[in-house]
Amino acid sequence: MFQDLESYMLPCFSKTFLNIECLGCGLQRSFLLLLNGNFFDAFKMYPAIFTLILLISFAIFNFFKKIKNANKIIGRLAYINLTIIIINYLIKISI
């Protein structure tokens, strides 16, 4: 159903011009795989996809209904996301 969206994806400029993957390489394709129901493939493409969706969902929910200690929760989710993204990036560039 969402396969046609692949033609609208933005190219990675660092990969295009410098031939170096960035920290976000694979995010769009991973999200498209997730929309198509390929959860394992989405995780393989970009491991932080699920925690990133959790972080964004929580931030949006907190925007409409204020939650006690939300800043602390958002900060920890952001730290977890950043850690996963950096580890994934280091693995990608070392292979």
Q: Look at residue 21 in the predicted model and tell me its pLDDT.
A: 83
pLDDT at 10: 81
Tokens for 17, please give them.
């011009």
Report the alpha-carbon distance of residue 38 to residue 92 in Å, rounded. 21
Could you tell me which of 55, 56, 36 has the C-alpha nearest to residue 45? 36
pLDDT digit string (tens) for the chain, length 95 residues = 566 777 778 888 888 888 888 888 889 889 999 988 999 999 999 999 999 999 999 999 999 999 999 999 999 999 999 999 999 999 988 87
